[in-house]
Structure 1
Amino acid sequence: MDQPTLTKLLKAEGIAMSATELHTLAQGAAAAPPGLNPDRWMNLVTSAPTSRLKTVLRDLMQGITSASTSSESAVSRLIALRKALVDANIDGFIVPRADEHQGEYVPSCAQRLSWLTGFTGSAGTVAVLDDRAALFVDGRYTLQAEMEVDQELYQVVSIADTSMDDWLADELPDGSRLGYDPRLHSRNQAQRLRKTCESAGSSLIAVDRNPLDSVWTTQPPPPISPVAAHDERFAGQGLREKCIQIASRISESGSEATVLTMTDSIAWLLNLRGGDVEFTPLAMAFAILHRDSSVDLFIDARKLGPDLGSHLGSQVAIHAPEHFGAALNRLKDETKQIQIDPATANDWICRQLAEGKAKLIEATDPCALPKAIKNSVELDGTRAAHLRDGVALTRFLHWINNASENGQITEIDAADQLETFRRQGKNFQGLSFPTISGAGNH
């Protein structure tokens, strides 16, 4: 549908959104996992889309998805990256499988390692120098990496045999400049990299803009998936009570605020659930919790439904993600002590805060331990979930006992059928990780 026609349709539907704004929203929705209901993103356009509008939105989404593929080869991508490194005046670059939040699962826009090398495992890092490159993986992914990656371009290295630090210490030329994106490495990781470079007579250079992003022409935008309140009947504790509890902990440390970077901590603290990444109901966001228990939440407001205002209340102020840097600048100059977790907070945040007057107090994410200690409601919910999943697994075992007699069931068939049984259970929201299905010799 052309833009003028789409504009007329939106106006006829009473939607205060331009065709351009809708297209941008749809691109973000396409960058998020589809989840159980691929049409759920339409509720961000209007709470009750008509059949006509649903058809148009599905066509729009299909067009965006079809146009997102790229035909570039692995060698052309590596050549383009190396040219970008020359332009940036650096001799090498580290590409981890990570995003700004250091989570286990990353959104499609942060799948830089996969785009560059073809490696699709959930953990790995590549070091690219001007004349060689190596992909570092753990024992789970050695065989997979060797199958997925062009070994003429990348040496596949098991970290059980050689760590990336040791490899860099041997391979970095004296006086070279190794680049890294401080947003994709924790404070601790960056400090370790810096020591490695210094031992090799090299320098670690923080880049303002990731050079890989400049050559990834089909990089998806940040994901936009609906965010919903996690009902207190499942959480067992309201967000206000949690904020007061955690604010008290940071106040006891002498800090006036803490910067929360882990999306699971923010989801727990504010009783929010999203869908920006696979297998975990999380929304990409940052937060600053102050010792008075107020919260500044930095999140794309397009993800938030109208009902979230009453859920968050006056406790939480919503800000656009692009205002996070300015908020850090104010925080570092207006407070005396700020708590930060160097194991999880990315190095860019720590560098921003370290430039101000405030003293940085390094401590574990204050939500980590309270989040791990389940209350009675959460424990009851866990037990109930295991019972429901036990029913699904029992049905699956009965099914496979009968269906596998002729030997025609594949491992994928089995995984799909198990998910089907799980989907039929009450309150099912999705898998927590891809089913690991294997049988016989490989």
Structure 2
Amino acid sequence: MTQMISQTFDVKGGPHYGRENVPKLRAALDELGLDGFLIPHEDEYDNEYLPDCNERLLWVTGFSGSAGAALVMKDRAAVFVDGRYTLQVKDQVDGSIFDYCDLVGQGLYGWIEEHGRKGEKIGYDARLHSPAALNLLRTAAQRAGVTLVSVDTNPVDTAWTDRPAAPKTPVVPHPIEFAGEDHASKRSRIGIAIRKGGADAAVITAPPSIAWLFNVRGSDVSRSPLPLSAAIIEADGTATFFVDPDKITDETRAHLGNEIALRPESEFGDGLAACQGKTVRVDPTTASAWVLETLEAGGASVQQLEDPVMRPKAQKNAAEVEGSRQAHIRDGGAIVKFLHWLDTEAQSGEIDEIQAAQKLESLRKTLPELRDLSFDTISGAQGNGAFAHYRVSEETNLKLAKGSLYLVDSGGQYPDGTTDITRTVPIGEPTAEMRTQFTRVLKGHIALSMVRFPKGTTGTQLDILARFSLWQAGFDYDHGTGHGVGSFLGVHEGPQRIAKAPNAVPLEPGMIVSNEPGYYKADGYGIRIENLQVVTDPADIPGGERPMLGFETLTVAPIHKGLIDTGLLTAEELAWLDGYHALVRERVLPLVEGDVADWLVRATEPLAGAHP
């Protein structure tokens, strides 16, 4: 259904964007009587991946990262990024036009409070800001004597005269064999939750929630099979689907049935205004300030609560879990062929990061079920591997040099599941330090795979397990340990996660999370080991007093034994690794043959009792 998009390695953006487009934006601001304008990276749908028509921050600044913001005034401008992008922003954004600022520390709010001039009017598009973010901006503006002005038409869109058209890809049914529950049942469940929460209806603005609720998928953005749209669901389970009518096929119309009304997305504002007198549930973390303001202006009472679809979507049913198993087995066949290639041809030292990423994509493309990558492959050799979210380009491309490590983080989108896997492999002979650090990361990975925990436990409470071995030696990593993953939806899904940052959402059976501890030596190498795992149903432990939840590992691909110092592993850890490799061999060996099959047998031989 989705049209597969190959990964490209030319980086969009550059300093010329700002030089060409900031004057155009300032001219549009003059016409509106504004002194400045706020440009967040987020679009109307709060997407992780944006359609080209919503790349407003890129168009204004030339910055192509996945998180950031800008503020353009008549006589000055600033661009804001987090620590991942401090080098990239200086390459892509003209420093003579923009000041480089910290998105996390100072942020837009701090800049306005410190640099805003009394009497200035700064415009914003309420469709692009969350209610919480807008409240902070208003407080900062008030302190600076600045007025924030909501605009009906975004001046970036006005100035962007060659703006790409909005995507119009078909919305198609997601088969019940993969969904595991028809949308009438889902709508009934969500309606009951809305009613129990004291509301009459709920506004759903997150495209993944809409796709899950109506059992549909689309291809309006790359890497995630989403239809850009909005919805209102009533407490009785009926719903209105606001979507471009050109995207709806006769098959999809029949699939949706009579209890889902179809209206053009352009009428979403009218639909919100028609909620007069109702109590309407809205998630302030996914819906924009414009949604809340439109509801309140129309006479609705707004109930700010979590998207009622989010947790049911996160708890995969039996069909979704089995689909994920099968997708991972299929994906594992391609990964094993790639790992064999890395252990043979790529050991020459002449292969580069782009060639390696292209090789992996070519192997996945042999699978007829593949619909897209689930994200752009992270292909990091040598020191590039030390950037946890590195994206290879023609300018940064390095060789998989002998005596170095290669880190590859990749995934695929299949109708029955979404995959995400990271493996680290040696090119040539690894150093003793590399093996020690890899084994410390592996110990954390194994601990988070083996753990049993009582109902009500959160990912925050488990995070230390993945870091313990590193902490004891004075090391750590600066990213989360695990994120939720969708079922043929986004590769990053909430509300659950495993990280230091507080998260109050307990891990429930059916939730899929990644397990990806790492270690990154600046200018040296990167190490990460990532599998996906699903929370299992409660089970009694012999001699225990309470039933415990656990994890079942879904990803099936060898962990490179040449990087393991077995002397650092306990007997229990070795037993887990041997058991995991036995599972990999059982599930993947039927999918490969010849030299690859022979390699897989060797790569999954038991390590118990072995010593370096």
TM range (shorter): 0.7 to 0.9
Match in the other structure for 2:3: 35
Write the distance in 2 (CA, Å) between the matches of 1:403 and 1:240: 52
Write the distance in 2 (CA, Å) between the matches of 1:261 and 1:239: 17
Alpha-carbon deviations, 1:120-166, whole Å to 9, x = none? 11111011122211111111111111111111111222334432211
Match in the other structure for 2:67: 123
Tell me which of 364, 373, 377 is aligned to 2:319: 377
Pairing 1:359-438 to 2, within 5 Å after superposition? 359-438=301-380
Write the distance in 1 (CA, Å) between the matches of 2:52 and 2:58: 10
Write the distance in 1 (CA, Å) between the matches of 2:74 and 2:112: 13
Aligned residue for 1:140, secondary structure, equals: helix
Pairing 1:68-79 to 2, within 5 Å after superposition? 73-79=17-23
- Asked which structure has the greater CA Rg, the reply is 2
Tell me which of 221, 228, 233 is aligned to 1:289: 233
Relative distance call for 1:234 and 1:392 in structure 2 (3 A) is same
Could you tell me whether the CA contact under 8 Å between 1:84 and 1:215 is conserved in 2?
yes
Match in the other structure for 2:107: 163
Match in the other structure for 2:138: 194
Specify which structure has the bigger relative contact order, considering alpha-carbon pairs within 8 angstroms and separated by 6 or more residues. Answer: 1
Whether 2:122 is the aligned partner of 1:178: answer: yes
Match in the other structure for 1:310: 254
Write the distance in 2 (CA, Å) between the matches of 1:74 and 1:34: 33
Identity level (%):
39
Write the distance in 1 (CA, Å) between the matches of 2:104 and 2:267: 41
Relative distance call for 1:79 and 1:391 in structure 2 (3 A) is same
Could you tell me whether the CA contact under 8 Å between 1:187 and 1:344 is conserved in 2?
no
Q: Where in structure 2 are there 5+ consecutive unaligned residues?
A: 7-12, 385-612
Q: TM (normalized to structure 2)?
A: 0.59
**Which structure has greater helix proportion?**
1
Aligned residue for 1:307, secondary structure, equals: helix
Aligned residue for 2:166, secondary structure, equals: coil
Pairing 1:107-146 to 2, within 5 Å after superposition? 107-146=51-90
**Which structure has greater strand proportion?**
2
Relative distance call for 1:239 and 1:402 in structure 2 (3 A) is same
Alpha-carbon deviations, 1:330-371, whole Å to 9, x = none? 11x2x3311111111111111111113221111111111111
Pairing 1:146-295 to 2, within 5 Å after superposition? 146-295=90-239
Write the distance in 2 (CA, Å) between the matches of 1:352 and 1:417: 49
Write the distance in 2 (CA, Å) between the matches of 1:161 and 1:316: 44
Relative distance call for 1:34 and 1:346 in structure 2 (3 A) is same
Amino acid aligned to 1:90? L
Match in the other structure for 1:47: none
Write the distance in 1 (CA, Å) between the matches of 2:273 and 2:102: 40
Write the distance in 2 (CA, Å) between the matches of 1:208 and 1:126: 19
Relative distance call for 1:159 and 1:118 in structure 2 (3 A) is same
Match in the other structure for 1:25: none
Q: TM (normalized to structure 1)?
A: 0.82
Could you tell me whether the CA contact under 8 Å between 1:230 and 1:271 is conserved in 2?
yes
| Offset, 1:417 | 1.0
| Offset, 1:397 | 1.1
How many residue pairs align between the two structures? Answer: 377
Could you tell me whether the CA contact under 8 Å between 2:353 and 2:380 is conserved in 1?
yes
Comparing 75-84 with 423-432, which one deviates more in the overlay?
A: 423-432
Pairing 1:69-108 to 2, within 5 Å after superposition? 73-108=17-52
Question: Hey, which bits of structure 1, 4+ residues long, moved more than 4 A?
Answer: none
| Offset, 1:407 | 2.7
Could you tell me whether the CA contact under 8 Å between 2:199 and 2:303 is conserved in 1?
yes
